[in-house]
Amino acid sequence: MTINWNKYLLDQISLKFYYRKYSQLPLQPSYFHAPLLLPSLIKNLPSSFRDFARFIKVNRIPSSILSYSGKLPAISLLIVVAHKDFENLKLCIAQILKHSLNPISKVEIVVPESDLASCRKILEQIQLQIPISLINEDEVINVQLREKMKSKLKHKYGWALQQLLTLHMVMRSDCCGVLAVDADTFVLRDQVWLNDKFTQVLFQSPEFHVPYYKVINKVFPKLDTISYSHITHHMLFQPELLREFLTKNGYVDSADVMIQVLESFDKLQESPFCIEFEPYAQFLHDSHKDRFELRRFSNSNFSTKENNVSITELIQSLDNHNFYNSINFHSWNN
């Protein structure tokens, strides 16, 4: 095999390469690496130095699993999924069941009405000893709100609906913990999501998208936010705390939240708001510091085209090797 040395050396000093490499659990990034990355940092001004400093900080958080001394509480698994990610669904579920040290009491899958039959065929192939519920998203959110969302959000409708469905399903849950996971995300390492003292893991992300917080501050004015985010492709929710948060901000249900969001978001932004993961995590920081422990996110985005392997092959090569906590394959990368 002939190596393109120019490309190889450029890759070594690119921010993309650095962020993927130093997201790995055995490695810790350092501010002292900045001189090596200087050309790439200058090329990506004005935000690159701030993003680099944030990346360093969040990747120096402990990576150990939560400690526990008694029986771990059971949690449920929630996946809101569209047809484009159906091929990943079985593997997504299998990886969570393999690596969750908390017992999973039930699995809830929310899909569009048009995809119920094809999703049901996929789930019939999964042999589980726990209940799996397939839920029609049209029966969760009323038609009037869905039509209003379509009118205002246009092509962002599906992305926003996924957030609203997650919020709704967690609010109505009778479980002590709900693990909500994007269907294109795969857990690679054992985790305690919620320990016997009802302290949950909270992963911190290097991503920081300013428009999210402008909307959060409008929709949840009583919330004091911090400048570190939790956009992590999966989140352990404690439903009682989510209900407390929304009640504190004057919301009876998830529909009320979305109605306020539709009046508050910037239509010019391609990714204008996050109404489930981030507000909940910020509420934990603001009001329940004793109910979570921060842990290193250690996630990386992968492209099957770039790696010239299937998703299954790549997961098998990384699984349980303590390189990453999770990886995800966004459809637009593949």
User: What residue segments make up the domains of the chain, in order of their start?
Assistant: 1-60, 75-299
What's the CATH code, domain 75-299?
Answer: 3.90.550.10
What is the model's pLDDT at position 62? 95
Query: Residue 3 pLDDT more than 60?
Result: no
Instruction: Enter the DSSP assignment of 72.
Output: P
CA distances from 172 to 28, 111, 243, 334 (A): 40, 17, 9, 34
CA 143 – CA 289 distance, rounded (Å) = 38
Tell me the pLDDT tens digit for each residue of 196-242: 999 999 999 998 899 999 999 999 999 999 888 999 999 999 999 99
The tokens for 272 are 């204008």
CA 112 – CA 23 distance, rounded (Å) = 34
CA distances from 206 to 50, 174, 240, 296, 297 (A): 10, 32, 27, 10, 9
Sequence letter at residue 84: K
Helix 116-124 / helix 86-99 crossing angle, nearest 10 deg: 40
What is the model's pLDDT at position 28? 93
- Banded model confidence at residue 172, pLDDT cuts 50, 70, 90: very high
What is the model's pLDDT at position 307? 63
Tell me the pLDDT tens digit for each residue of 45-70: 999 999 999 999 999 999 999 999 99
Query: Residue 119 pLDDT more than 70?
Result: yes
Q: Which helix (H) or strand (E) holds 292?
A: strand 292-296
What is the model's pLDDT at position 254? 95
Sequence letter at residue 284: L
- Banded model confidence at residue 14, pLDDT cuts 50, 70, 90: confident
Instruction: Enter the DSSP assignment of 104.
Output: E
- CA angle 154–159–164, rounded 5-degree value: 105
What is the model's pLDDT at position 9? 46
What is the model's pLDDT at position 49? 95
Asked if the bond preceding 211 is cis, omega within 30° of 0, the reply is no
- CB-side neighbour CA atoms (13 Å) of 100: 30
Q: What is the pTM of this model?
A: 0.93
Query: Residue 331 pLDDT more than 70?
Result: no
CA 243 – CA 224 distance, rounded (Å) = 18
Residues in the chain: 334
- CA angle 71–104–133, rounded 5-degree value: 150
Tell me the pLDDT tens digit for each residue of 122-149: 999 888 889 999 999 999 999 999 999 9
Average pLDDT over residues 250-272: 95
- CA angle 287–65–79, rounded 5-degree value: 70
The answer to whether the beta carbons of residues 235 and 280 sit under 8 Å apart is yes
Alpha helices in 194-273 (DSSP H): 210-219, 239-248, 254-262
CA 76 – CA 70 distance, rounded (Å) = 19
What is the model's pLDDT at position 333? 45
CA distances from 150 to 27, 144, 154, 173, 306 (A): 44, 10, 5, 26, 34
* Most distant CA atoms of the chain, gap in Å: 63
Instruction: Enter the DSSP assignment of 73.
Output: P
Instruction: Enter the DSSP assignment of 268.
Output: T
Q: To 10 degrees, the CA torsion angle through 34, 37, 41, 43?
A: 160
Of 189, 200, 180, 191, nearest to 326 (Cα)? 189
Residue 122: count of CB within 10 angstroms of its CB: 18
The answer to whether the beta carbons of residues 110 and 82 sit under 8 Å apart is no
